[in-house]
Amino acid sequence: MKIKFILMILLLCSCSNNNFQGHVYDYDTEKPLRNVSVTINDQITQTDSVGYFAMKIKSNSTIEIFLKRKGYASKKLFRKPDSCGEFSKKNLNENRIYLYNQESDFFNKDEEIKKLNHEARTN
């Protein structure tokens, strides 16, 4: 009985803190993006020279990730932890996040779709 209790405490302690990390890349060039503002549940950090970011977050809670950099389309993502409160590398394709440059064809198509959707709702 005592051993089960100790194992349960160890399991709960191992799931108490989490480090969410990833890399941010330019969609067209696949080069890492530095100085991207990364906001996770109201905590802010920036990517380094290789596009890397890391932040300690509360385990067992859904996170909202907002990425922003001048000249790029902003991106908002939501992620849920696994049963132990961890964010597996499968969660974001090994935590690789891509942003569209505002001069990208994909950015322009996305803006056109948003405009068409807005027009359709107002008509």
Please state the three-class secondary structure of 41-76 as a single string: CCEEEECCCCCEEEEEEECCCCEEEEEECCCECCEE
Residue with the bigger pLDDT between 36 and 87: it is 36
Residue with the bigger pLDDT between 116 and 54: it is 54
Residue with the bigger pLDDT between 34 and 4: it is 34
pLDDT given for residue 1 in this prediction: 56
pLDDT given for residue 111 in this prediction: 62
pLDDT given for residue 5 in this prediction: 45
Where are the domains positioned within the chain?
18-122
SS3 category, 83: coil
Closest by Cα among 80, 81, 100 to 24: 100
Interval 19-46 mean pLDDT: 93
pLDDT band at 105 (very low <50, low <70, confident <90, very high): confident
Q: Which amino acid is at 18?
A: N
Per-position b or e across 16-35, b if 16+ CB within 10 A of its CB = eebebebbbbbbeeeebbee
pLDDT given for residue 84 in this prediction: 64
Strand partners, 45: 38
Q: What is the pLDDT of residues 38-76, one digit of tens each?
A: 999 889 999 999 999 998 887 667 889 999 999 999 999
What is the DSSP code (8-state) at residue 16?
S
Q: Which CATH superfamily is domain 18-122 in?
A: Carboxypeptidase-like, regulatory domain (2.60.40.1120)
Residues 36 and 68 sit within 8 Å (Cβ to Cβ): yes
What is the DSSP code (8-state) at residue 89?
G
Q: How far is Cα 3 from Cα 65, in angstroms, rounded to an integer? A: 39
Structure tokens given for 121? 């709702």
pLDDT given for residue 71 in this prediction: 94
Interval 101-113 mean pLDDT: 70
